[in-house]
């Protein structure tokens, strides 16, 4: 589900059919004997020959349900991205009498398709053709009416006909059509939608919700995945809308993971806390909800009106101001019709057990061996912690409140600082990611100032700009090299440079296109560049969404080349050389003695990469997340790295601690922060 830019607006003009406006024309149905293997494909049969050809696409998001002789639903599935469905793995055989047949029906299109003659639309038609040993076909009697079959004992070879006057299937609707109030006006909707599939994990709510629970509310479904920068940037806008329309709007985050690591409910729990998400979230690990709505881009917004009717969707940039106006218009329309329910829907914020650590999701660490100091980006506490190398807390930069405020350590504020870099003994730069700003800390005077960014997210189009009056776009890391501060501008897939002497920002590399393209600096493509390292001759850039490590020459005439990684759709956990290597959303890198140490974040491992031979090897860790020290350590989404002497320091983000690796013995320990002055408790938000 790559992010693609779009100019479509989510207004009445963009209300579209979910399934491309083609109506199905299907063969006669058959019954299926209990215990049969039920699988097949739903595809667009362009040449109407009943056989799927290579060019004929599968239809995702069709709900397939099995019913017994008493009309009880005994199994359900949703067609995947390729149109495939499998029911046999879900059958509850204890509910099916021996030798009893049951029927299979489909739903997902009533009211959403434009019926045509015999289901044809512009020469194309959709057919259901089953595959595998069962050889079972299913179908509709016409484009807008479901087949209703009488129970029979004829078995799979029988061909029962549809009952005359059969009515549309109601099993997947939250409320039957006769109980659904009618709405008028521009937001009356295009038809009902299927209810949420059963068996999914829900977060921030005491139980799974149904469409019946949401009756009377404007419903916004946001399809997202937590490592995607576009998904990340929608969250503050959605939280503001949730607060503004607290009594009229329900937002549900449908987390349809890209990476396997992101599909684990425990990890989503952590990210919900980390991003401060308060609305309900579904773990749509199998993309069943995403398929129902054709949401194949992150993020995608889907709108439902207060009577459960589909209005439309928008993918890519969400245009928060226009979305706000749209929600306001829908609220006004349904309020005038008396169809709005302003009773609050209670969401329950669920938080994992608190760790025994004064840090919260630390994302970076910088070791200053000469000065005997560690600088820690304590990201969710919105501050920078300074300790000595043994862990004694020396000072805290920032008051712990999320904000953009300059001044002394006790009054200055940050918002989700992700990356830090030490320029000299008295100067620290902070990539203040949530503020879209670069901050400079004077360690001698204990003061913080903003040197780039305005606090607003801005897509930079010029190649040069005055730093103090120009907004940035999710700077995820900062690295001081040769008198300049390089910024991993994750929000627009580029690397920028800040010159402290001229106070100018300049594009260093990247075209803003989200792609893995090797080329001269300004023609190269990046895929969410997130962290930086250097050997003094080149920048090493971790391209998180491509699971790749890149090298960019520091010379203005230099090139960008890929060391390991293949692109947006290629990830895994494989050692090797060059294009054979697979990582999973890495978020940390450090250079030491000819090797790159990489935090392979979603694999919970540390790996070494030789930039000369392009060889990658697992250094420490296991695929299982955890917090364990010793020679066989476990990590939990390790991110920022810093190498000095014979030590490697790691921001072990989901363990909320800093880990220390003895590079020679490969033994890992945890930094214990000692705080005799009580500095860590100062001004922390509750």
Helix axes 320-336, 229-244, angle to 10 degrees: 40
| Residue 356: per-residue pLDDT | 78
* Same domain (yes/no): 109, 183: no
Is residue 138 included in any domain, yes or no?
Answer: no
Is residue 397 included in any domain, yes or no?
Answer: no
* Same domain (yes/no): 116, 182: no
Is residue 358 included in any domain, yes or no?
Answer: no
Q: Which domain holds residue 255?
A: 177-336
- SS3 (DSSP) at 623: coil
Q: Where are the beta strands (DSSP E) in 501-554?
A: 504-509, 519-520, 529-534, 538-543, 548-553
74 and 66 in contact (C-beta within 8 Å)?
Answer: yes
Is residue 342 included in any domain, yes or no?
Answer: no
Q: How big, in percent rounded to 5, are the helix, strand and coil portions of the chain?
A: 15, 35, 50
* Same domain (yes/no): 108, 181: no
Domains identified in the chain, total number? 3
What tokens were used for 373?
A: 């100091």
List residues bridging with 525 in a β-sheet: 517
* Same domain (yes/no): 532, 618: yes
Domain boundary, last residue among 295, 314, 336: 336
| Residue 281: per-residue pLDDT | 96
Domain boundary, last residue among 336, 362, 396: 336
Residues 336-341: contacts with CB within 8 Å, 24+ apart? Answer: 337/183, 337/184, 337/185, 339/181, 339/183, 339/216, 339/306, 339/307, 340/216, 340/217, 340/248, 340/306, 341/215, 341/216, 341/217, 341/306
* Same domain (yes/no): 114, 256: no
Domain boundary, last residue among 336, 356, 382: 336
* Same domain (yes/no): 609, 674: yes
* Same domain (yes/no): 84, 189: no
Is residue 283 included in any domain, yes or no?
Answer: yes
What one-character-per-residue DSSP string does 173-235 give?
-SS-GGGSPP--STTS-S-B-PPPPTT-EEESSSS---TTTTTTSEEEEEEE-TT-HHHHHHH
| Residue 145: per-residue pLDDT | 28
| Residue 11: per-residue pLDDT | 32
Q: Which residue has the tokens 């881009």?
A: 297
Is residue 197 included in any domain, yes or no?
Answer: yes
What tokens were used for 580?
A: 């054979």
| Residue 683: per-residue pLDDT | 58
Separation between Cα atoms, residue 228 and residue 3, nearest integer Å: 9
660 and 648 in contact (C-beta within 8 Å)?
Answer: yes
Q: What is the pTM for the complete model shown?
A: 0.75
In which element (H, E) is residue 594 found?
none
* Same domain (yes/no): 121, 202: no
What CATH code is carried by the domain that includes residue 595? 2.120.10.30
* Same domain (yes/no): 604, 672: yes
| Residue 632: per-residue pLDDT | 96
What CATH code is carried by the domain that includes residue 37? 2.60.40
| pLDDT beneath 70, residues of the chain | 1-76, 78-180, 346-354, 683-686
Q: How many C-beta atoms surround the C-beta of residue 503 within 10 A?
A: 13
- Please name which of 178, 176, 194 lies closest in space to residue 304, comparing C-alpha atoms: 194
* Same domain (yes/no): 68, 211: no
Is residue 268 included in any domain, yes or no?
Answer: yes
Is residue 263 included in any domain, yes or no?
Answer: yes
List residues bridging with 609 in a β-sheet: 596, 616
In which element (H, E) is residue 320 found?
helix 320-336
């Amino acid at each position: 589900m790559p992010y693609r830019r779009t100019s479509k607006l989510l207004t009445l003009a963009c209300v579209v059919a979910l399934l491309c406006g083609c109506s199905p024309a299907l063969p006669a149905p058959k019954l299926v004997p209990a215990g049969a293997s039920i699988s097949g494909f739903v595809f667009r049969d362009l040449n109407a020959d009943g056989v799927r050809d290579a060019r004929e696409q599968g239809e995702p998001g069709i709900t397939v349900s099995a019913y017994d002789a008493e009309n009880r639903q005994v199994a359900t599935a949703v067609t995947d991205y390729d149109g495939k469905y499998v029911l046999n793995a879900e059958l509850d055989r204890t509910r099916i009498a021996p030798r009893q047949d049951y029927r299979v029906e489909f739903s997902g299109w009533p009211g959403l398709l434009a019926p045509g003659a015999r289901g044809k639309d512009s020469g194309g038609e959709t057919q259901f053709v089953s595959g595998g040993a069962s050889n079972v076909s299913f179908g509709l009697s016409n484009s807008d009416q479901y087949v209703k079959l009488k129970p029979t004992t004829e078995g799979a070879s029988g061909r029962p006909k549809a009952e005359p006057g059969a009515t549309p299937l109601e099993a997947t609707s939250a409320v039957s059509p006769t109980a659904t109030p009618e709405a008028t006006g521009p937001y009356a909707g295009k038809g009902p939608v299927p209810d949420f599939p059963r068996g999914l994990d829900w977060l921030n709510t005491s139980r799974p919700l149904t469409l019946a629970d949401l009756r009377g509310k404007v419903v916004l479904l946001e399809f997202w995945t937590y490592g995607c920068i576009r998904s990340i940037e929608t969250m503050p806008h959605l939280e503001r809308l949730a607060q503004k329309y607290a009594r009229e709007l329900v937002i549900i985050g449908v987390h349809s993971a890209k990476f396997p690591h992101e599909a684990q409910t425990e990890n989503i729990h952590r990210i919900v806390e980390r991003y401060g998400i308060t609305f309900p979230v579904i773990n749509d690990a199998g993309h069943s909800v995403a398929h129902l709505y054709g949401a194949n881009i992150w993020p995608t917004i889907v709108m439902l009106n207060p009577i459960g009717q589909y209005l439309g969707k928008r993918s890519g940039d969400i245009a928060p101001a226009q979305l706000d106006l749209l929600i306001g218009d829908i609220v006004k329309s349904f309020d005038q019709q008396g169809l709005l329910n302003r009773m609050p829907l209670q969401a329950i914020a669920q938080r994992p057990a608190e760790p025994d650590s004064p840090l919260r999701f630390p994302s970076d660490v910088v070791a200053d061996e000469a000065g005997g100091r560690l600088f820690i980006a304590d990201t969710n506490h919105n501050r920078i912690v300074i300790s000595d190398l043994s862990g004694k807390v020396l000072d805290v930069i920032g008051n712990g409140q999320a904000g953009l405020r300059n001044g002394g350590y006790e009054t200055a504020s940050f918002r989700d600082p992700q990356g830090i870099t030490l320029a000299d003994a008295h100067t620290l730069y902070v990539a203040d990611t949530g503020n879209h700003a670069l901050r400079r800390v004077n360690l001698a005077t204990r003061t913080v100032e903003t040197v780039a960014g305005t606090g607003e997210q801005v897509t930079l189009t010029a190649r040069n700009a005055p730093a103090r009056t120009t907004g940035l776009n999710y700077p995820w890391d900062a690295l001081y090299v040769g008198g300049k501060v390089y910024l991993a501008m994750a929000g627009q897939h580029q690397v920028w440079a800040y010159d402290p002497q001229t106070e100018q920002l300049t594009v260093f590399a990247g075209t803003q296109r989200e792609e893995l393209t090797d080329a001269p600096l300004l023609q190269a493509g990046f895929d969410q560049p997130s962290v930086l390292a250097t050997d003094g001759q080149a920048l090493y850039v971790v391209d998180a969404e491509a699971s790749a490590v890149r090298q960019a020459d520091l010379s203005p005439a230099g090139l960008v080349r890929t060391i390991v990684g293949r692109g947006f759709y290629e990830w895994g956990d494989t050692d090797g050389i060059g294009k054979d290597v697979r990582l999973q959303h890495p978020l940390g890198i450090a250079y030491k003695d000819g090797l790159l140490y990489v935090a392979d974040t979603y694999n919970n491992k540390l790996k070494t990469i030789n930039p000369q031979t392009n060889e990658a090897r697992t250094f420490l860790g296991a695929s299982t997340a955890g917090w364990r020290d010793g020679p066989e350590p476990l990590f939990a989404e390790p991110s920022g790295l810093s190498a000095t002497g014979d030590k490697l320091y790691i921001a072990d983000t989901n363990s909320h601690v800093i880990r220390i690796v003895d590079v020679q013995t490969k033994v890992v320990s945890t930094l214990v922060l000692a705080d005799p002055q009580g500095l860590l408790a100062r001004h922390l938000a509750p």
